[in-house]
Amino acid sequence: KAALEAGRHVVTANKALLAKHGVALAEIAEKKGVLLNYEAAVAGGIPVIKTMREAMAGNAVTRVFGILNGTCNYILTRMEAEGISFDACLKDAQRLGYAEADPTFDIEGHDTAHKLSILTSLAFGTKIAANDIYM
């Protein structure tokens, strides 16, 4: 916030910050005429934020859906395809580096809620906080 208020451009991948304060930060950035970029906060190397910003000029977004968390995607895919237990899949995901040592943020849905908050703000101009999204 201080950097934006001081007229500095800001780049962040902090999805928790953006999900909670993104709208307010974007308003400050616009008021100060600086950039608030956060492409890395959602979808890793896929330019979904840029695409959504540019698509809004002549299109209407009617829904947002997709795989928002790689850890959960890996675990659920293996559970369904191979009939492996959740615990076994989680341990394998941790061993392979797909899941953190403490995977709570991913497996309880917090990471997904943060990303969804950011995406819905862009797509629909809403102000939905991550903690208002059912997990």
Tokens (6 digits) for 69: 């968390």
Among 69, 75, 90, residue whose Cα is nearest residue 133: 69
Tell me if residue 115 is catalytic: yes
Task: Identify the three-state secondary structure at position 24.
Answer: helix
For 70-88, b/e burial (b = at least 16 CB within 10 A) is ebbebbeebeeeeeeeeee
By CB atoms closer than 10 A (0-12, 13-18, 19+), residue 38 is buried
**One of 15, 32, 115, 127 is an active-site residue; which one?**
115
Which residues are catalytically annotated?
115
